Amino acid sequence: MDAVNIDDLRKVAKRRLPKAVYEYVAGGSYRELTVARNRADLDRLAFAPNNMVDVRQQNTATTMLGDPAAFPLALAPVGMVGLTWPDGELHAARAAEAAGVPFCLSGFSIASIEDVAAVRKTPFWSQLYMMQQMEVNEHLIARAAAAGCSALVMTLDVHVHSQRWADNRNGLTSPIRVTPGNVIDMMGHLPWIARMVTSKRWTFATMAKEHPQASNVLSLAAWVNANLFAGIDEGTIRWVRAQWPRKFVVKGILTVDDAKRARDLGADAIVVSNHGGRQLDGAPSTISVLPEIARSVGGEIEVLWDGGVLTGFDIVRAMGRGAHGCLSGRAWAYGLAAHGRKGVDRALALLRQELLDCMALTGTQDITKLAPGLVTTEPPL
**Given the complex with ligand FMN, which of 32 and 58 has the nearer CB atom?**
32
Question: Among residues 82, 88, 123, 308, which is the contact residue for ligand FMN, using CB under 6 A?
Answer: 308
Q: If you ran DSSP here, which 8-state letter would residue 277 be given?
A: G
Which residue minimizes CB distance to ligand FMN?
Answer: 329
In 3-state terms, what secondary structure has residue 328?
strand
When asked if residue 275 is in the footprint of ligand FMN (CB under 6 A), the reply is: yes
Residue from 127, 137, 206, 311 in contact with ligand FMN (CB under 6 A): 127
Q: Which stretch binds ligand FMN (CB under 6 A): 4-12, 184-192, 271-279, 357-365?
A: 271-279
268 or 306: CB nearest ligand FMN: 306
Decide: is 19 part of the binding site for ligand FMN (CB under 6 A). no
Q: Which is nearer to ligand FMN, 333 or 348 (CB)?
A: 333
Cα 201 from Cα 66, distance rounded (Å): 32
Stretch that binds ligand FMN, among 55-63, 168-176, 326-334, 355-363 (CB under 6 A): 326-334
Q: Least distance in Å: CB of 380 to ligand FMN? A: 27
141 within 8 A of 244, measured Cβ to Cβ? yes
Q: Is 283 in the site for ligand FMN (CB under 6 A)?
A: no
Minimal distance, residue 288 CB to ligand FMN, in Å: 15
Site string for ligand FMN, 134-163 (x = CB under 6 A): ---------------------x--------
DSSP letters of 52-113? Answer: SS--SS-B--EEETTEEESSSEEEPP-TTGGGTSTTHHHHHHHHHHHHT--BEE-TT-SS-H
Q: Could you say whether residue 115 binds ligand FMN (CB under 6 A)?
A: no
Beta 247-253 vs 269-272: how paired, if at all? parallel
Provide CB contacts within 8 A for 167, sequence distance 6+.
Answer: 20, 23, 24, 27, 173
Q: Residue 38's closest CA among 270, 294, 274, 271?
A: 274
- Residue 275 bears catalytic tag: yes
Q: Are strands 269-272 and 45-47 parallel, antiparallel or unpaired?
A: unpaired
Q: What residues are labeled active site? A: 275
Positions that interact with ligand FMN (CB under 6 A):
24-25, 76-79, 106-108, 127, 155, 251, 273, 275-276, 278, 306-309, 328-331, 333
